[in-house]
Amino acid sequence: MRDITEPDDLNRRLETISDEALRNLILDVVAKRVRNASPADGLMFLFQLDADLYPLQGELSVSYDGGTHTKHRHTKYHDFFINRINQGERVLDIGCGIGFLAFDIAEKSGAFVTGVDLEVKNIDIANSRFKHPRVKYLLADILTTKFDESFDVAVLSNVLEHLPERPEFLRAMVNAIKPSRILLRVPVFERDWRVPLKEELGIDYRLDQTHYTEYTLESFSDEIAAAGLKMTHQECRWSEIWAEVTPSNIDV
C-alpha cells in the first residue's frame, strides 16, 4: 500500500478541501505542536514557520502586481526620492535592481538617471521593462568604474544594509563620484516586538538573510557620522529610515 502522503495523493486531497477547512486544519496541527512544547520551543517553531512563509508572500505579491512588488505601490517610497530630486539633476541609482525606481525618478522629477547594479539579470530586466530616454543602466561596480559624467545625487534604496563595511563604502563612494547629497532608505530593527525576541531566542530576525545589519536610529546616525556625512533630513516610515545626507565639506 502506498503512503497517503505521497505527492499525487496529497495533491488530490488538497484539491478537495476548502480554503477555510485547510486553514483550520493547519492551525489545529500547529497549535497542538506548539502547546505541547516549551514556550521557547513553541515560539521558535512559529517564528521559523513565519520566516518560511515570508518569501512566498513576496513572490506572490510580485506576481499579483504583474512583476513588481506591491510594496512600491503601497508604501510610496519612490515619492521620497522623487520629491527630493530636481529637474535636470544627474542621479546615480546604486544597486538599481530591475530599474523601477530609476524609471520613476526620471519620469516624475525630470532628472537624468544612471542605474548601476552588479547582477546581469537585473540590468537585463531594467533594459527590457523600464527603458526611459533619461535613464541608462550599467552593469558596474561604482567603486571601480570610471564614469564619464558627474552626479548631483546618489541614491541607495535598500542597498546599504547588504554591505559589510558601510561607513568605509560611503566614504569611498563620495570620493569616487562626489555627489552633493545622498538619499538613503534602510530597514529598521525596531519594527516589531518580535524582532528582539527572535534575536533573544537565537533565531534569524532579519528581513533578508543577506542583510549585514538592520538599523536603530542610533546605529544609523553613528554610521552616517563615521562616514563623514551630515544628516540633513530623516523620517521613519513603514519600518524604514528614509534620509538625506551630505558630505561634511558641503554647506547646506
Kindly give the parts of the chain with pLDDT less than 70.
1-7, 10, 250-252
Dihedral sign for Cα 84, 87, 92, 97, please. Answer: positive
C-alpha cell at 97: 535592481
C-alpha cell at 110: 525630470
Residues sharing a CB contact under 8 Å with residue 133, sequence separation 6 or more, in sequence order: none
**Three-state SS for 31?**
helix
> Which one, of 145, 207, 209, 211, lies nearest residue 172 by Cα?
145
DSSP 160: G
CA angle 44, 46, 52 (to 5 degrees): 100
Residues sharing a CB contact under 8 Å with residue 89, sequence separation 6 or more, in sequence order: 109, 111, 112, 152, 153
Sort strands 153-157 and 181-187 into parallel, antiparallel or unpaired. parallel
Type of residue found at 202: G
Residues sharing a CB contact under 8 Å with residue 30, sequence separation 6 or more, in sequence order: 45, 46, 49
The predicted-structure confidence for 55-94, as pLDDT tens digits, reads as follows: 999 999 999 998 889 998 999 999 999 999 999 999 999 9
Confidence at residue 172, expressed as pLDDT on a 0 to 100 scale: 94
Where does residue 228 fall: left (phi above 0), alpha (psi -120 to 50 degrees), or beta otherwise? Answer: left
Confidence at residue 57, expressed as pLDDT on a 0 to 100 scale: 93
Q: Is 214 exposed, middle or buried (0-12, 13-18, 19+ CB in 10 A)?
A: buried
**Three-state SS for 11?**
helix
pTM for the model stands at 0.86
Say how far apart CA 227 and CA 181 lie, in whole Å.
13
Confidence at residue 250, expressed as pLDDT on a 0 to 100 scale: 55
The distance in angstroms from the start CA to the end CA of the chain is 77
